[in-house]
Structure 1
Amino acid sequence: MKANRRRKMFTNSSAQVGIGTLIIFIAMVLVAAVAAAVLIQTSGTLQQKAQSTGKQATQEVSSNLIVKNIEGVRAKDSSLVLSQTIDLIRLKVGLNVGSQSVDVNQVVISITDGTTANNLVYAGNQKSYATIGASDGAMDTFNSTDAGKNLQKLLTGTTTTSSAFNNADHYFTVDKIRDEDASFSQSNPVMNTGDLINVYIATTSPSAVSADYKYVGTTNTSAGLKSAGLNLVPRTVVNIILTPESGVVTNADFVTPSSYGVKETVQLYP
Protein backbone atom coordinates (compact mmCIF):
# COMPACT_ATOMS: atom_id res chain seq x y z
CA MET A 1 0.00 0.00 0.00
CA LYS A 2 1.40 3.27 -1.03
CA ALA A 3 2.08 5.91 1.55
CA ASN A 4 -0.20 8.89 1.62
CA ARG A 5 1.18 11.66 -0.53
CA ARG A 6 0.98 15.27 0.52
CA ARG A 7 -0.44 17.54 -2.04
CA LYS A 8 0.50 21.25 -1.95
CA MET A 9 -1.18 24.00 -3.92
CA PHE A 10 1.47 26.05 -5.78
CA THR A 11 0.92 29.77 -5.44
CA ASN A 12 2.59 32.36 -7.79
CA SER A 13 1.73 36.06 -7.42
CA SER A 14 4.25 37.40 -9.91
CA ALA A 15 1.65 37.61 -12.66
CA GLN A 16 -0.45 40.01 -10.58
CA VAL A 17 2.56 42.23 -9.98
CA GLY A 18 3.31 42.24 -13.72
CA ILE A 19 -0.22 43.40 -14.63
CA GLY A 20 -0.03 46.30 -12.15
CA THR A 21 3.30 47.38 -13.55
CA LEU A 22 1.94 47.18 -17.09
CA ILE A 23 -1.04 49.37 -16.15
CA ILE A 24 1.24 51.96 -14.56
CA PHE A 25 3.52 51.88 -17.59
CA ILE A 26 0.62 52.40 -19.99
CA ALA A 27 -0.67 55.25 -17.83
CA MET A 28 2.77 56.91 -17.89
CA VAL A 29 2.92 56.53 -21.68
CA LEU A 30 -0.51 58.14 -22.02
CA VAL A 31 0.45 61.00 -19.71
CA ALA A 32 3.69 61.50 -21.61
CA ALA A 33 1.80 61.50 -24.92
CA VAL A 34 -0.68 64.10 -23.66
CA ALA A 35 2.16 66.23 -22.28
CA ALA A 36 4.05 65.95 -25.58
CA ALA A 37 0.95 67.00 -27.52
CA VAL A 38 0.49 70.03 -25.26
CA LEU A 39 4.16 70.98 -25.63
CA ILE A 40 4.03 70.62 -29.42
CA GLN A 41 0.89 72.75 -29.62
CA THR A 42 2.37 75.37 -27.27
CA SER A 43 5.67 75.48 -29.16
CA GLY A 44 3.79 75.92 -32.44
CA THR A 45 1.78 78.81 -31.03
CA LEU A 46 4.91 80.42 -29.60
CA GLN A 47 6.68 80.02 -32.93
CA GLN A 48 3.87 81.76 -34.78
CA LYS A 49 3.83 84.59 -32.27
CA ALA A 50 7.61 84.89 -32.42
CA GLN A 51 7.54 85.11 -36.21
CA SER A 52 4.78 87.71 -36.11
CA THR A 53 6.59 89.72 -33.44
CA GLY A 54 9.85 89.49 -35.36
CA LYS A 55 8.19 90.71 -38.54
CA GLN A 56 6.58 93.64 -36.74
CA ALA A 57 9.82 94.49 -34.95
CA THR A 58 11.73 94.44 -38.24
CA GLN A 59 9.14 96.70 -39.81
CA GLU A 60 9.27 99.08 -36.84
CA VAL A 61 13.05 99.32 -37.07
CA SER A 62 13.50 99.44 -40.84
CA SER A 63 10.55 101.60 -41.93
CA ASN A 64 11.30 105.24 -41.41
CA LEU A 65 11.05 108.56 -43.19
CA ILE A 66 14.05 110.79 -43.72
CA VAL A 67 13.74 114.57 -43.86
CA LYS A 68 16.30 115.68 -46.43
CA ASN A 69 15.81 119.40 -45.99
CA ILE A 70 13.22 121.99 -44.96
CA GLU A 71 12.51 125.36 -46.56
CA GLY A 72 10.22 128.14 -45.41
CA VAL A 73 8.22 130.33 -47.79
CA ARG A 74 6.97 133.81 -46.92
CA ALA A 75 3.66 135.14 -48.19
CA LYS A 76 3.78 138.17 -50.50
CA ASP A 77 1.57 140.55 -52.39
CA SER A 78 1.76 141.47 -56.05
CA SER A 79 4.35 144.18 -55.36
CA LEU A 80 6.65 141.65 -53.64
CA VAL A 81 6.07 143.02 -50.16
CA LEU A 82 6.92 140.02 -47.98
CA SER A 83 5.36 138.74 -44.80
CA GLN A 84 7.35 139.00 -41.56
CA THR A 85 6.66 135.33 -40.83
CA ILE A 86 7.23 131.93 -42.48
CA ASP A 87 3.79 131.03 -43.86
CA LEU A 88 4.48 127.70 -45.56
CA ILE A 89 7.00 124.96 -44.77
CA ARG A 90 8.19 122.61 -47.49
CA LEU A 91 9.83 119.35 -46.36
CA LYS A 92 11.73 117.16 -48.82
CA VAL A 93 11.10 113.62 -47.56
CA GLY A 94 12.44 110.21 -48.62
CA LEU A 95 12.75 106.70 -47.19
CA ASN A 96 15.66 105.04 -45.45
CA VAL A 97 17.55 102.26 -47.26
CA GLY A 98 15.73 98.94 -46.92
CA SER A 99 12.61 100.59 -45.60
CA GLN A 100 9.17 99.10 -46.03
CA SER A 101 6.62 101.05 -48.09
CA VAL A 102 5.00 103.94 -46.24
CA ASP A 103 1.41 105.04 -46.78
CA VAL A 104 1.50 108.83 -46.42
CA ASN A 105 -2.26 108.74 -45.96
CA GLN A 106 -1.62 107.30 -42.48
CA VAL A 107 1.22 109.63 -41.47
CA VAL A 108 0.55 112.16 -38.71
CA ILE A 109 2.69 115.31 -38.57
CA SER A 110 2.96 117.31 -35.37
CA ILE A 111 4.38 120.83 -35.46
CA THR A 112 4.83 123.34 -32.67
CA ASP A 113 6.34 126.82 -32.40
CA GLY A 114 6.59 126.62 -28.62
CA THR A 115 3.15 128.17 -28.14
CA THR A 116 0.79 126.41 -30.54
CA ALA A 117 0.86 122.73 -31.55
CA ASN A 118 -0.94 121.35 -34.60
CA ASN A 119 -1.49 117.66 -35.38
CA LEU A 120 -1.93 117.25 -39.11
CA VAL A 121 -3.16 114.41 -41.33
CA TYR A 122 -2.98 114.01 -45.08
CA ALA A 123 -5.57 116.10 -46.92
CA GLY A 124 -6.98 112.99 -48.61
CA ASN A 125 -7.44 111.06 -45.35
CA GLN A 126 -11.14 110.17 -45.21
CA LYS A 127 -11.35 108.82 -41.67
CA SER A 128 -9.44 110.94 -39.15
CA TYR A 129 -11.86 113.89 -39.08
CA ALA A 130 -14.94 112.04 -40.30
CA THR A 131 -18.21 111.94 -38.46
CA ILE A 132 -18.87 108.61 -36.72
CA GLY A 133 -19.48 105.83 -39.22
CA ALA A 134 -18.80 108.09 -42.22
CA SER A 135 -15.95 108.67 -44.66
CA ASP A 136 -16.18 112.45 -45.04
CA GLY A 137 -12.97 113.40 -43.25
CA ALA A 138 -10.94 114.50 -46.28
CA MET A 139 -10.27 118.15 -46.98
CA ASP A 140 -13.24 119.73 -48.75
CA THR A 141 -12.80 119.84 -52.56
CA PHE A 142 -9.73 117.58 -52.27
CA ASN A 143 -8.44 116.96 -55.79
CA SER A 144 -7.33 113.38 -56.48
CA THR A 145 -4.98 114.40 -59.31
CA ASP A 146 -3.85 118.03 -58.88
CA ALA A 147 -1.34 118.71 -56.09
CA GLY A 148 -1.31 122.46 -56.86
CA LYS A 149 -5.05 122.84 -56.25
CA ASN A 150 -4.73 120.90 -52.99
CA LEU A 151 -1.98 123.23 -51.79
CA GLN A 152 -4.13 126.24 -52.64
CA LYS A 153 -7.06 124.78 -50.67
CA LEU A 154 -4.71 124.03 -47.78
CA LEU A 155 -3.79 127.71 -47.51
CA THR A 156 -7.15 129.31 -48.25
CA GLY A 157 -9.91 126.79 -47.56
CA THR A 158 -12.04 125.44 -44.75
CA THR A 159 -13.57 122.02 -44.20
CA THR A 160 -16.79 120.96 -42.54
CA THR A 161 -17.10 117.40 -41.25
CA SER A 162 -18.27 116.88 -37.68
CA SER A 163 -17.36 120.58 -37.22
CA ALA A 164 -15.96 123.45 -39.30
CA PHE A 165 -12.24 124.27 -39.21
CA ASN A 166 -9.40 125.81 -41.23
CA ASN A 167 -7.52 123.41 -43.49
CA ALA A 168 -4.25 125.06 -42.47
CA ASP A 169 -4.25 123.72 -38.90
CA HIS A 170 -5.65 120.25 -39.66
CA TYR A 171 -4.08 118.98 -42.90
CA PHE A 172 -0.87 118.74 -44.89
CA THR A 173 -0.50 118.14 -48.63
CA VAL A 174 2.18 116.45 -50.75
CA ASP A 175 3.64 116.48 -54.23
CA LYS A 176 5.99 113.92 -55.76
CA ILE A 177 9.51 114.77 -56.89
CA ARG A 178 10.80 111.31 -57.86
CA ASP A 179 8.59 108.27 -58.40
CA GLU A 180 10.17 105.78 -60.79
CA ASP A 181 7.59 103.03 -60.28
CA ALA A 182 4.58 105.39 -60.54
CA SER A 183 3.30 104.17 -57.17
CA PHE A 184 2.65 107.63 -55.75
CA SER A 185 -0.42 109.73 -56.49
CA GLN A 186 -2.67 112.20 -54.68
CA SER A 187 -5.34 109.55 -54.17
CA ASN A 188 -2.87 106.76 -53.32
CA PRO A 189 0.22 108.36 -51.73
CA VAL A 190 2.37 105.27 -51.13
CA MET A 191 6.14 105.77 -50.91
CA ASN A 192 8.63 103.08 -51.87
CA THR A 193 12.40 103.05 -51.47
CA GLY A 194 13.86 105.64 -53.83
CA ASP A 195 10.77 107.85 -53.88
CA LEU A 196 11.15 111.52 -52.98
CA ILE A 197 8.29 113.89 -52.19
CA ASN A 198 7.55 117.41 -50.99
CA VAL A 199 5.39 117.72 -47.89
CA TYR A 200 3.65 121.08 -47.42
CA ILE A 201 2.71 122.35 -43.95
CA ALA A 202 0.78 125.60 -43.63
CA THR A 203 2.21 127.90 -40.96
CA THR A 204 0.24 131.04 -41.84
CA SER A 205 0.28 133.52 -38.99
CA PRO A 206 -2.62 135.78 -37.96
CA SER A 207 -0.60 138.81 -39.10
CA ALA A 208 -0.16 137.34 -42.60
CA VAL A 209 -3.89 136.63 -42.78
CA SER A 210 -4.79 140.20 -41.81
CA ALA A 211 -2.31 141.60 -44.37
CA ASP A 212 -4.24 139.76 -47.13
CA TYR A 213 -1.21 138.58 -49.11
CA LYS A 214 -2.00 137.33 -52.60
CA TYR A 215 0.68 134.70 -53.07
CA VAL A 216 2.64 132.07 -51.19
CA GLY A 217 5.39 131.05 -53.56
CA THR A 218 3.64 130.51 -56.89
CA THR A 219 0.30 129.64 -55.26
CA ASN A 220 -2.42 132.23 -55.68
CA THR A 221 -4.00 132.99 -52.31
CA SER A 222 -6.23 135.88 -53.34
CA ALA A 223 -9.19 133.90 -51.97
CA GLY A 224 -7.81 134.76 -48.55
CA LEU A 225 -5.25 133.02 -46.35
CA LYS A 226 -6.51 131.03 -43.38
CA SER A 227 -4.58 131.03 -40.11
CA ALA A 228 -2.72 127.94 -38.92
CA GLY A 229 -2.34 129.52 -35.48
CA LEU A 230 1.47 129.42 -35.71
CA ASN A 231 3.76 132.43 -35.62
CA LEU A 232 7.14 131.66 -37.15
CA VAL A 233 8.94 134.95 -36.66
CA PRO A 234 12.77 135.08 -36.61
CA ARG A 235 14.46 133.07 -33.82
CA THR A 236 11.49 130.75 -33.33
CA VAL A 237 12.22 127.24 -32.07
CA VAL A 238 10.23 124.80 -34.22
CA ASN A 239 9.75 121.08 -33.65
CA ILE A 240 8.31 118.77 -36.33
CA ILE A 241 7.52 115.09 -35.72
CA LEU A 242 6.52 112.68 -38.49
CA THR A 243 4.76 109.56 -37.18
CA PRO A 244 4.06 106.82 -39.76
CA GLU A 245 1.56 104.02 -39.21
CA SER A 246 4.45 101.69 -38.39
CA GLY A 247 8.12 102.45 -38.14
CA VAL A 248 10.45 104.89 -36.48
CA VAL A 249 9.25 108.37 -35.57
CA THR A 250 11.19 111.10 -37.39
CA ASN A 251 12.08 114.38 -35.66
CA ALA A 252 13.21 117.62 -37.27
CA ASP A 253 14.08 120.48 -34.91
CA PHE A 254 15.37 123.86 -36.01
CA VAL A 255 15.50 127.53 -35.09
CA THR A 256 14.39 130.05 -37.69
CA PRO A 257 17.10 132.56 -38.75
CA SER A 258 17.67 135.75 -36.81
CA SER A 259 16.51 137.71 -39.87
CA TYR A 260 14.71 136.79 -43.05
CA GLY A 261 16.04 139.81 -44.93
CA VAL A 262 14.64 140.04 -48.44
CA LYS A 263 14.53 136.27 -49.00
CA GLU A 264 11.20 134.85 -50.08
CA THR A 265 12.39 131.26 -49.49
CA VAL A 266 14.41 130.61 -46.36
CA GLN A 267 16.56 127.54 -45.68
CA LEU A 268 15.54 126.12 -42.28
CA TYR A 269 16.96 122.59 -42.00
CA PRO A 270 19.55 121.15 -41.84
Structure 2
Amino acid sequence: MIEQLTNDDDRGQVGIGTLIVFIAMVLVAAIAAGVLINTAGFLQSSAEQTGQESQEQVTNRLQILSSTGEKTGVSGDGAIGNVSLTTTKAPGADDIDLDEVTVQWVDETGTYNIVSDATNNANADGVFHVQPFKDNDDSSPVINSPDDRINMKFALSSSDVASEDLAGPNALDEGATATLRITTSSGTATTERLVVPESLSGTTAVNL
Protein backbone atom coordinates (compact mmCIF):
# COMPACT_ATOMS: atom_id res chain seq x y z
CA MET A 1 0.00 0.00 0.00
CA ILE A 2 1.41 3.31 -1.13
CA GLU A 3 0.71 6.36 1.00
CA GLN A 4 0.38 9.76 -0.72
CA LEU A 5 2.42 12.36 1.07
CA THR A 6 1.31 16.00 1.09
CA ASN A 7 3.18 19.13 2.01
CA ASP A 8 1.25 21.54 4.22
CA ASP A 9 3.59 24.37 3.24
CA ASP A 10 2.63 24.05 -0.45
CA ARG A 11 -1.09 24.19 0.38
CA GLY A 12 -0.52 27.33 2.44
CA GLN A 13 1.25 29.07 -0.44
CA VAL A 14 -1.61 28.28 -2.81
CA GLY A 15 -4.14 29.67 -0.32
CA ILE A 16 -2.19 32.90 0.10
CA GLY A 17 -1.96 33.33 -3.67
CA THR A 18 -5.67 32.85 -4.06
CA LEU A 19 -6.31 35.38 -1.29
CA ILE A 20 -4.05 37.95 -2.98
CA VAL A 21 -5.87 37.48 -6.31
CA PHE A 22 -9.23 37.82 -4.53
CA ILE A 23 -8.17 41.03 -2.76
CA ALA A 24 -6.87 42.45 -6.05
CA MET A 25 -10.20 41.69 -7.74
CA VAL A 26 -12.08 43.37 -4.90
CA LEU A 27 -9.88 46.48 -5.18
CA VAL A 28 -10.34 46.65 -8.96
CA ALA A 29 -14.11 46.27 -8.55
CA ALA A 30 -14.15 49.00 -5.87
CA ILE A 31 -12.19 51.39 -8.08
CA ALA A 32 -14.45 50.66 -11.06
CA ALA A 33 -17.52 51.21 -8.92
CA GLY A 34 -16.13 54.54 -7.70
CA VAL A 35 -15.48 55.66 -11.27
CA LEU A 36 -18.98 54.64 -12.32
CA ILE A 37 -20.56 56.47 -9.36
CA ASN A 38 -18.58 59.63 -10.10
CA THR A 39 -19.48 59.44 -13.78
CA ALA A 40 -23.14 58.88 -12.97
CA GLY A 41 -23.12 61.84 -10.60
CA PHE A 42 -21.52 64.08 -13.21
CA LEU A 43 -24.00 62.98 -15.88
CA GLN A 44 -26.91 63.54 -13.50
CA SER A 45 -25.67 67.02 -12.65
CA SER A 46 -25.20 67.87 -16.32
CA ALA A 47 -28.64 66.49 -17.17
CA GLU A 48 -30.28 68.55 -14.40
CA GLN A 49 -28.53 71.72 -15.57
CA THR A 50 -29.47 71.06 -19.20
CA GLY A 51 -33.04 70.29 -18.17
CA GLN A 52 -33.29 73.50 -16.17
CA GLU A 53 -31.91 75.57 -19.04
CA SER A 54 -34.29 73.89 -21.48
CA GLN A 55 -37.20 74.53 -19.15
CA GLU A 56 -36.27 78.20 -18.84
CA GLN A 57 -36.07 78.52 -22.61
CA VAL A 58 -39.55 77.07 -22.92
CA THR A 59 -41.33 78.76 -20.01
CA ASN A 60 -39.63 82.18 -19.72
CA ARG A 61 -41.54 83.50 -22.68
CA LEU A 62 -42.92 86.96 -23.35
CA GLN A 63 -46.59 86.91 -24.28
CA ILE A 64 -48.00 89.46 -26.74
CA LEU A 65 -51.60 90.33 -25.84
CA SER A 66 -52.23 92.84 -28.61
CA SER A 67 -50.51 94.87 -31.29
CA THR A 68 -51.73 98.22 -32.55
CA GLY A 69 -50.55 100.77 -35.07
CA GLU A 70 -51.03 104.51 -35.17
CA LYS A 71 -50.77 106.90 -38.06
CA THR A 72 -48.54 109.89 -37.43
CA GLY A 73 -48.41 113.23 -39.17
CA VAL A 74 -44.80 112.73 -40.20
CA SER A 75 -45.49 109.38 -41.85
CA GLY A 76 -48.40 110.57 -43.98
CA ASP A 77 -52.05 109.61 -44.15
CA GLY A 78 -51.41 106.12 -45.53
CA ALA A 79 -48.72 104.74 -43.23
CA ILE A 80 -48.31 103.49 -39.67
CA GLY A 81 -45.65 105.50 -37.84
CA ASN A 82 -46.04 104.07 -34.33
CA VAL A 83 -46.41 100.44 -33.29
CA SER A 84 -47.31 99.35 -29.77
CA LEU A 85 -47.19 95.81 -28.36
CA THR A 86 -48.98 95.10 -25.07
CA THR A 87 -46.97 92.43 -23.27
CA THR A 88 -47.06 90.26 -20.18
CA LYS A 89 -45.23 87.11 -19.13
CA ALA A 90 -46.42 83.68 -20.16
CA PRO A 91 -47.91 81.35 -17.50
CA GLY A 92 -45.13 79.80 -15.41
CA ALA A 93 -42.49 82.25 -16.59
CA ASP A 94 -39.98 83.92 -14.28
CA ASP A 95 -39.63 87.70 -14.11
CA ILE A 96 -38.84 89.24 -17.50
CA ASP A 97 -36.83 92.45 -17.81
CA LEU A 98 -37.85 94.25 -20.99
CA ASP A 99 -34.60 96.22 -20.93
CA GLU A 100 -32.83 92.90 -21.63
CA VAL A 101 -35.15 91.94 -24.48
CA THR A 102 -33.96 92.12 -28.08
CA VAL A 103 -36.20 92.40 -31.13
CA GLN A 104 -35.42 91.34 -34.68
CA TRP A 105 -37.75 93.24 -37.01
CA VAL A 106 -38.08 91.86 -40.55
CA ASP A 107 -40.09 93.55 -43.31
CA GLU A 108 -39.81 94.07 -47.04
CA THR A 109 -37.17 96.78 -46.57
CA GLY A 110 -34.75 94.66 -44.55
CA THR A 111 -33.87 93.24 -41.14
CA TYR A 112 -33.37 95.46 -38.09
CA ASN A 113 -32.06 94.65 -34.61
CA ILE A 114 -33.86 96.72 -31.99
CA VAL A 115 -33.17 97.07 -28.26
CA SER A 116 -34.60 99.00 -25.33
CA ASP A 117 -33.82 102.71 -25.26
CA ALA A 118 -32.32 102.10 -21.78
CA THR A 119 -29.66 99.86 -23.35
CA ASN A 120 -26.38 101.31 -24.55
CA ASN A 121 -25.89 99.25 -27.69
CA ALA A 122 -24.17 101.05 -30.53
CA ASN A 123 -24.67 98.08 -32.86
CA ALA A 124 -28.47 98.22 -32.70
CA ASP A 125 -30.47 99.52 -35.65
CA GLY A 126 -33.11 101.15 -33.48
CA VAL A 127 -34.76 101.29 -30.08
CA PHE A 128 -38.14 100.63 -28.51
CA HIS A 129 -39.60 102.47 -25.53
CA VAL A 130 -41.10 100.81 -22.45
CA GLN A 131 -44.39 102.26 -21.19
CA PRO A 132 -46.22 100.70 -18.21
CA PHE A 133 -49.94 100.19 -18.78
CA LYS A 134 -50.85 98.18 -15.67
CA ASP A 135 -48.14 97.80 -13.04
CA ASN A 136 -49.41 97.74 -9.47
CA ASP A 137 -45.98 97.53 -7.79
CA ASP A 138 -44.11 99.86 -10.20
CA SER A 139 -41.77 97.08 -11.28
CA SER A 140 -41.46 98.35 -14.87
CA PRO A 141 -39.50 97.52 -16.99
CA VAL A 142 -39.58 94.16 -15.18
CA ILE A 143 -42.72 92.07 -15.64
CA ASN A 144 -42.99 90.23 -12.32
CA SER A 145 -46.69 89.42 -12.27
CA PRO A 146 -49.14 87.84 -14.72
CA ASP A 147 -51.31 90.90 -14.14
CA ASP A 148 -48.62 93.30 -15.39
CA ARG A 149 -49.26 94.96 -18.75
CA ILE A 150 -46.35 96.86 -20.25
CA ASN A 151 -46.23 98.35 -23.74
CA MET A 152 -43.28 98.11 -26.08
CA LYS A 153 -43.51 101.12 -28.36
CA PHE A 154 -41.71 101.38 -31.71
CA ALA A 155 -41.34 104.73 -33.46
CA LEU A 156 -40.86 104.06 -37.19
CA SER A 157 -38.90 106.31 -39.51
CA SER A 158 -40.11 107.87 -42.75
CA SER A 159 -38.61 109.48 -45.79
CA ASP A 160 -39.46 113.00 -44.62
CA VAL A 161 -38.03 112.71 -41.10
CA ALA A 162 -34.42 112.22 -39.98
CA SER A 163 -34.15 111.61 -36.25
CA GLU A 164 -31.94 109.38 -34.12
CA ASP A 165 -34.99 108.23 -32.15
CA LEU A 166 -36.72 107.20 -35.39
CA ALA A 167 -33.81 105.19 -36.77
CA GLY A 168 -34.60 101.64 -37.76
CA PRO A 169 -37.62 100.19 -39.57
CA ASN A 170 -39.54 102.38 -41.98
CA ALA A 171 -43.18 103.34 -41.54
CA LEU A 172 -45.58 100.56 -42.59
CA ASP A 173 -47.71 101.35 -45.63
CA GLU A 174 -51.20 100.03 -46.29
CA GLY A 175 -51.13 96.26 -46.74
CA ALA A 176 -47.56 95.94 -45.45
CA THR A 177 -46.43 93.14 -43.15
CA ALA A 178 -43.62 92.76 -40.63
CA THR A 179 -42.41 89.85 -38.51
CA LEU A 180 -40.98 90.49 -35.05
CA ARG A 181 -38.87 87.90 -33.23
CA ILE A 182 -38.73 88.95 -29.58
CA THR A 183 -36.06 87.21 -27.48
CA THR A 184 -35.76 87.36 -23.70
CA SER A 185 -32.49 87.17 -21.73
CA SER A 186 -33.02 83.40 -21.21
CA GLY A 187 -33.05 82.88 -24.97
CA THR A 188 -36.78 82.23 -25.35
CA ALA A 189 -38.20 83.72 -28.54
CA THR A 190 -41.74 84.88 -29.32
CA THR A 191 -42.79 85.63 -32.88
CA GLU A 192 -45.37 88.31 -33.68
CA ARG A 193 -46.61 89.05 -37.18
CA LEU A 194 -47.91 92.53 -37.95
CA VAL A 195 -50.36 93.03 -40.83
CA VAL A 196 -51.48 96.51 -41.83
CA PRO A 197 -55.03 96.70 -43.28
CA GLU A 198 -55.33 97.31 -47.01
CA SER A 199 -56.90 100.69 -46.32
CA LEU A 200 -56.15 103.16 -43.54
CA SER A 201 -58.55 105.79 -44.81
CA GLY A 202 -60.63 107.43 -42.08
CA THR A 203 -58.69 105.82 -39.21
CA THR A 204 -55.99 107.02 -36.87
CA ALA A 205 -55.21 103.69 -35.16
CA VAL A 206 -55.71 100.06 -36.14
CA ASN A 207 -55.13 96.55 -34.81
CA LEU A 208 -52.21 94.88 -36.54
What TM-score do you get using the length of structure 1 for normalisation? 0.68
Residue 255 of structure 1: how far off its partner (Å): 2.1
Q: Assess if the C-alpha contact under 8 Å between 2:174 and 2:196 holds in 1.
A: yes
Paired letter, 1:191: I
Identity %: 33
Q: Assess if the C-alpha contact under 8 Å between 2:175 and 2:197 holds in 1.
A: yes
2:203 match = 263
Q: Assess if the C-alpha contact under 8 Å between 1:237 and 1:256 holds in 2.
A: yes
Q: 1:101 to 1:255 in 2, by over 3 A?
A: same
Question: Which has a greater percent of strand?
Answer: 2
Query: What is the CA–CA distance in structure 1 between the aligned matches of 2:177 and 2:28, rounded to whole Å?
Result: 68
1:191 match = 143
Query: What is the CA–CA distance in structure 2 between the aligned matches of 1:225 and 1:191, rounded to whole Å?
Result: 24
1:121 match = 115
Q: Assess if the C-alpha contact under 8 Å between 1:68 and 1:93 holds in 2.
A: yes
Residue 52 (structure 2) pairs with residue 96 (structure 1): no
Cα deviation code 1:55-101 (max 9, x no counterpart)? 11111111111111111111127xxx954311110111111111111
Q: Assess if the C-alpha contact under 8 Å between 1:241 and 1:249 holds in 2.
A: yes
Cα deviation code 1:93-151 (max 9, x no counterpart)? 1111111111212211111221222110111113x328xxxxxxxxxxxxxxxxxxxxx
Query: What is the CA–CA distance in structure 2 between the aligned matches of 1:230 and 1:31, rounded to whole Å?
Result: 71
Aligned residues between the structures: 203
Q: 1:224 to 1:249 in 2, by over 3 A?
A: closer
Unaligned runs of 5+ in 1: 1-7, 131-166, 211-222
Following TM superposition, the consecutive aligned residue runs of length 4 or more in structure 1 with deviations greater than 3 angstroms are 223-229
Cα deviation code 1:225-266 (max 9, x no counterpart)? 745351411011211111112253111113211111122212
Residue 159 (structure 2) pairs with residue 206 (structure 1): yes
Unaligned runs of 5+ in 2: none
What TM-score do you get using the length of structure 2 for normalisation? 0.87
Q: 1:229 to 1:182 in 2, by over 3 A?
A: closer
Q: Assess if the C-alpha contact under 8 Å between 1:102 and 1:192 holds in 2.
A: yes
Question: Where does 1:21-60 land on structure 2 (aligned, <5 Å)?
Answer: 21-60=18-57
Residue 185 (structure 2) pairs with residue 245 (structure 1): yes
Cα deviation code 1:194-226 (max 9, x no counterpart)? 22100011222214x28xxxxxxxxxxxx8974
Query: What is the CA–CA distance in structure 2 between the aligned matches of 1:103 and 1:227, rounded to whole Å?
Result: 23
Q: 1:192 to 1:247 in 2, by over 3 A?
A: farther
Query: What is the CA–CA distance in structure 2 between the aligned matches of 1:225 and 1:93, rounded to whole Å?
Result: 22
Q: Assess if the C-alpha contact under 8 Å between 1:241 and 1:251 holds in 2.
A: yes
Query: What is the CA–CA distance in structure 2 between the aligned matches of 1:256 and 1:16, rounded to whole Å?
Result: 95
